Chain A
Amino acid sequence: MNNADPIVRPGASAAHESAHLHVAGEATYVDDIPELAGTLHAALGLSAKPHARIRSIDFAAVTAMPGVVAVLTAADIPGSNDCGPIIHDDPILADGEVHYVGQPMFAVVATSVDVARRAARRAVVDYEVLPAELDPRAARAAESFVLPPMRRVCGEPAQKLAAAPHRLQGQWSVGGQEQFYLEGQVSYCAPREDGCLQLWCSTQHPTEMQHVVAHCLNKASNQVVVEMRRMGGGFGGKESQSALFACVASLAASKLKRPVKLRLDRDDDMMITGKRHDFYYDYDVGFDDEGRILAVRVEMIARAGFSADLSGPVATRALCHFDNAYFLSDADISALCARTNTQSNTAFRGFGGPQGAIAIEYILDSIARRLGLDALDVRKANFYGKSDRNLTPYGQTVADNVIHELVADLEQSSDYRARREEILRWNADSPIIKKGLALTPVKFGISFNVVHFNQAGALVHIYTDGSMLVNHGGAEMGQGLNTKVAQVVAMTLGVPLSRVRATAADTSKVANTSATAASTGADLNGKAAEDAALQIRARLAALAAARFGGTAEAVRFADEQVSGEGWQIAFDELVKLAYEARVQLWSDGFYATPGLHWNRETLTGSPFFYFAYGAAVSEVAVDTLTGEWKLLRADLLHDAGNSINPAIDIGQVEGAYIQGMGWLTTEELVWNDVGRLTTHAPSTYKIPAVADCPAVFNTRLFHNPNHVDTIMRSKAVGEPPLLLPFSVFFAIRDAIAAVAEGNVAPPLLAPATGEAILNAVEAVRAARAQP
């Protein structure tokens, strides 16, 4: 830290622990680590066909290139040629058959990045082309799935649908999304003595990298050390899918006995790796005159791509978030993972939750338009109750519902009703530009749906000079995890944050860690670090009480002082005393989230420790001649529990809002008719840029200490706010609806690109033209 050194308490907005390094260009990412002498560089050769048998590959032109050291194929892999996280259907290098355009077939290792990349393009591949499936709906029709379909039925949806006074049926879809972490995938591996490997990898899951590398190379886990200081963004894209690159770099290093780095070019990264699943919906809903849902049936088809990867848990989370903040007494929800000859889709912030929840929002918005009601009123009519109407379709009781008061607060602070009126008037005078407004809520379940992932470990060291080091199983990717964990340690021991340094995740320090995902990073690792710090504190307290009097329980740690009844000692002094008294000044800590259970067969249980809530109001203007649009104002209110660091949490909320807005608007993935992704670089794939940030952008945290015992009673904040920009999409839909009088529901697809918007505008105009 540069600036003065205040003691940071819960709720204090310390800067990111690396902020001073980020701004100076001194923060080290994998590609910035000083290279070891003799380092080689790898590049991958990619399939040009969506589905084909590889008859042969001619590497003559590759190896002829000066600087090329080796070409590696599946045949060079001594162990298992697989890097799939759950089901083992993900080859590291294609073995005889390719399943999508972009699939890695071989690796070229050379003396420079440039040579490796140039050489990799020179291989001549003889393909026998096989039939390819590119369309998820067609795959569904052919019942071609990577995993068995999932279905959860509660109540009597069929009967209730039949009996409902109003009914809406339809199809809809939402596109996928490229993670677009600014730092691309990269792994750097150095051989060590006795067959061991040291791997630096930009990954959210160092332990899994350790495992896949060990399996690939027939090694024991204790021979592979994975270190991860920070990522330049992950967003889910480096949870399972850093594995292929970790394996290739390790394979090459182990085979050539030299350090090898594999850093992907952006285009290759986008061609190879999976994205957020695009979803296709068929829905059928019955409702009453107030828009209250009586029964709903939905089938969600997710594009899994060529392999399972994390599609199973993604589909499960979609299924468990279809309800969003709404009570669905009678529901029939299914989720299918369609197999297509495209990249294997994977985790992306929200992990299927957004795709599940946006479907019910689309349905509710359509209901409101059908009935001529304000969509907010329809949403409110369907909210979960506090003491009744509070059972989710999967059988968990919603025990911490604050959506009513949160939405009421935001409705007021954003001036929703008055602006609604104002927009009506404005639109009446504006023939071409139409404004739209929407408020959408969020309820998001926190915990991994796989119970045993919900554990974490940490190490805390106090050195004799009083400085501290904390190491934990979580991976820092910008979310501020290290800052929060360090704050927890500092707060627990009553010292300023500047004393505590958080270090790189390292599989040789904390073992068997879970992915830093599902927003659980601070919940799990914060608790583990607190456990470690508390153990040390207890030892210090016992020592102090024994020396100076009183009970250990009465000893207080605050402001770098330790005090008891009638005595006080500087923290540093006590540390010295403890060392001399041979008291252990370091400790491990462990945490396992209590009370979770989940039945994968019946899709029921209590998969979530708690829920996080939020809501957003967005106002947009849409050009009905071009489909171009602009976000004019955003008001966000989000429940981060008792925030450990409000500045970091606000950063997560705002960042997720803009990122989710990109998913639903400008970010469009396009595959051409031969299955090639044509939007594989920022020139063609458009994430939000500066001008997309609204000039009026009000973000607040909703103070709501967690009702369950989380770290400092805070709530996870990584993923839930990604659902806030649903309000942008529905504000656009609202603006389009203003083209016509009456209750037209614009058939707007997501992403709402200019083209999708103009199509919806034309459809509304056409509907108006009809008598």
Chain B
Amino acid sequence: MLNGKQAAAAAEQIRFVLDDEVVTLVNPAPTRTILQFLREDLRRTGSKEGCAEGDCGACTVVLGELVARDGTERVQLRAVNACIQFLPTLDGKAIYTVETLKRQDGSLHPVQQALVDTHGSQCGFCTPGFVMSLFALFKNDAAPDRACVADALSGNLCRCTGYRPIFEAADRMYQCGDQRDWLNRPGTLAANTVDADEQALISQLKALRRETDLRVETGDARYFAPSSLAEFATLREQMPDARILAGGTDVGLWVTKQHRELPVLLYIGNVAELKGIDRSDTHFEIGAAASLTDAFAALNGAYPELAELWRRFASMPVRNAGTLGGNIANGSPIGDSMPVLICLGTSVVLRKGALTRELALEDLYLDYQKNAMQPGEFIERIRVPRSRPGWVVRSYKIAKRFDQDISAVCAAFALHLDAGAVAEARIAYGGMAATPRRAAAAEAALAGQPWQEPAARAAMAALDADYTPLSDMRASSGYRMQVAKNALYRLWLETRPDAPLASAQVNVFQLV
């Protein structure tokens, strides 16, 4: 490991900022996790491992990245799970760990002091992770309400405290300590102005920008991180067996949990052209490398009724790292984005070399973990239609727990209602079949029918013909079928022409 100022990084070097210093690593092992690097290589043991699968948050660190916001260059600070992030993805970023926050003079950061003051730690093992999630919140939000705090902490488990004092700390941190340095000043990233400290960090990160693309080679593994779409497409075509790495929130677990070998990784996260989200008159064009956080924020603008679905999708740190492209490409039968995206008429733009083709999302899925992508092809963009008048859209996630749980069933509906009748129905479910799939029989039962209880009941009954769900540790087949039907009933209650019920009347999570 080399420290200090360097000339432009060579192809096999990664560079990142840690505690204000630039750290350079030569040929880091591609699937070594950030957490292993911190704990084992640096013996920086503040970040903990509680699960090594992104579910407990004990390993939470904050990454700083340059982004363009409203035409201005800004730093973005986001919490991620160090246990499933691969080390080379740190290239060009700043990383903040729990050790970063305490001042040289021994004084605690406001987040840390607040947790002490409110008795927010007991065994303390989860605490560094909570500190980092709260730190990201502290910088990004000057006055979060309880819902925002809960969202920020959705990826942190604590077995000891019951969370009440941690909520209290999230209030108190804004009144704690002095705000001498940038790290200790709340809400600066939410402000419209760039302060001097942020500017300095921007310059530091800019200096890390690469001139040559990153290519790491160790004895048995290679890692490529092209920065242009064209180069990415070329490499992809040349190396159809390479594993594309996006946010790593699926791929990371293959390594930490399944001990799979991934000899060639092709990282999509440096391709700026694929990180953006464009809005045309008719569509959102979501780059395959856009984070789930950014994609959902964009979609929420058009479809506020989906906010709860996205809030319940994984956790904030997983959404910060993970991409919509990855969710779609992974194509899990219990993936949460696909049912509703299918209902909305989403398509994916697939690319191979210089050639692109557009495919309806539902046609991407052939069978369990089999998709229509050809060797050398990848997802370039996701095209989500904007909301259309006359359509009602809903998606309901049903799981054991509100926060960060995999769906037992994820139901999605888009109905075109015209004069009290269903002109067109698009219904899709996750958790009910080997792929996210439309419910043809249920759709047929609704088409052309008055949107009244008999039609809803008929569609519910038709689901028996559409699906034969499995039993597993999340739910029995019987429960899956029952809630799939009841979700349709809930939809009807919420959208029926006569006396529709408010969402708070059919959904406990909307109760206030």
Contacts and interface: CB of A to CB of B under 8 A. Distances in A.
Interface of A: 2, 13, 15-16, 18-29, 31-32, 34-35, 114, 117-118, 121, 180-184, 230-233, 235, 265-267, 430-433, 477-480, 621-623, 625-630, 632, 647-648, 650-651, 654-659, 666, 668, 670, 672, 678-679, 681-684, 686-693, 695, 697, 699, 753-755, 758-759, 762
Contacts of B128: 22-23, 25
B116 interface: yes
B101 interface: yes
Interface string B105-141: 0111001110111011111111110010000000000
Interface residues of B, number: 90
Contact of A265 (B52, B56, B163, B404): B52
Contact of B124 (A230, A626, A684, A690): A230
Contact of A29 (B125, B154, B160): B125
Contact of B119 (A13, A628, A629, A670): A13
Contact of A628 (B107, B153, B482, B509): B509
Given A22-B124, A230-B123, A655 B162 contact: yes
A182 B56 contact: yes
A432 B259 contact: no
A562 B498 CA distance: 81
B53 A659 contact: no
Nearest to B482: A758
25 contacts: A2-B106, A15-B119, A20-B108, A22-B115, A22-B128, A23-B115, A23-B121, A23-B131, A24-B102, A27-B124, A182-B58, A232-B123, A432-B493, A478-B160, A622-B508, A625-B487, A626-B396, A630-B402, A654-B162, A666-B400, A686-B400, A691-B154, A695-B146, A755-B408, A762-B482
Given A433-B505, A480-B122, A693-B167, A628 B398 contact: yes
B479 interface: yes
B445 to A, nearest CB: 19
Contacts of A480: 122
A66 to B, nearest CB: 11
Contacts of A753: 400
Contacts of A114: 36
Contacts of B127: 22-23
B511 A630 contact: yes
Contacts of B474: 684
B47 interface: yes
A699 B119 CA distance: 14
B508 A621 contact: yes
A478 B489 CA distance: 46
A183 B124 CA distance: 10
A666 B401 contact: yes
Interface in B440-476: 472-476
A678 B404 CA distance: 18
Given A23-B124, A630-B508, 18 more contacts: A2-B107, A16-B119, A24-B99, A180-B159, A182-B157, A232-B125, A233-B125, A266-B53, A431-B501, A432-B490, A626-B396, A630-B511, A654-B161, A682-B53, A684-B474, A686-B401, A688-B401, A690-B150
A24 B46 contact: yes
A274 to B, nearest CB: 17
Nearest to B479: A755
Nearest to A19: B116
Contact of B122 (A431, A630, A651): A651
B509 A684 contact: no
- Name the prevailing secondary structure of the B interface residues: loop
Contact of A758 (B162, B401, B479): B479
B122 A16 contact: yes
Given A29-B125, A659-B159, A693-B162, A626 B398 contact: yes
Contacts of A19: 115-116, 119, 121, 124
B235 interface: no
Given A24-B101, A24-B108, A479-B122, A628 B161 contact: no
A21 B124 contact: yes
Nearest to A184: B50
List 10 tightest A-B contacts by C-beta distance, closest first. Answer: A25-B46, A478-B123, A232-B125, A22-B124, A658-B162, A25-B98, A478-B122, A682-B55, A689-B403, A23-B112
Contacts, number: 272
Contacts of B131: 23, 25
B119 A648 contact: yes
Given A25-B128, A625-B486, A182 B159 contact: yes
Given A32-B45, A232-B48, A627-B483, A183 B125 contact: yes
B341 interface: no
A682 B165 contact: no
B388 interface: no
B74 to A, nearest CB: 27
A23 B127 CA distance: 6
Interface string B84-103: 00000000000001110110
Residue with the highest number of chain B CB atoms closer than 10 Å, among A29, A625, A654, A688: A625
Contacts of B506: 432-433, 623, 625
B48 A182 contact: yes
Nearest to B155: A689
B489 to A, nearest CB: 6
Nearest to A647: B119
Nearest to B409: A626
B239 interface: no
A629 B508 contact: yes
Residue with the highest number of chain A CB atoms closer than 10 Å, among B116, B146, B476, B511: B116
A679 B406 CA distance: 13
A690 B154 contact: yes
Nearest to A480: B122
B257 interface: yes
A26 B151 CA distance: 27
B262 to A, nearest CB: 13
Contacts of A117: 259
Contacts of B124: 16, 18-19, 21-23, 27, 230, 232, 478
A654 B154 CA distance: 19
B404 A689 contact: yes
B158 interface: yes
A654 B164 contact: yes
Contacts of B69: none
B159 A689 contact: no
B191 interface: no
A23 B511 contact: no
Contacts of A690: 149-150, 153-154, 156, 163, 166-167, 403
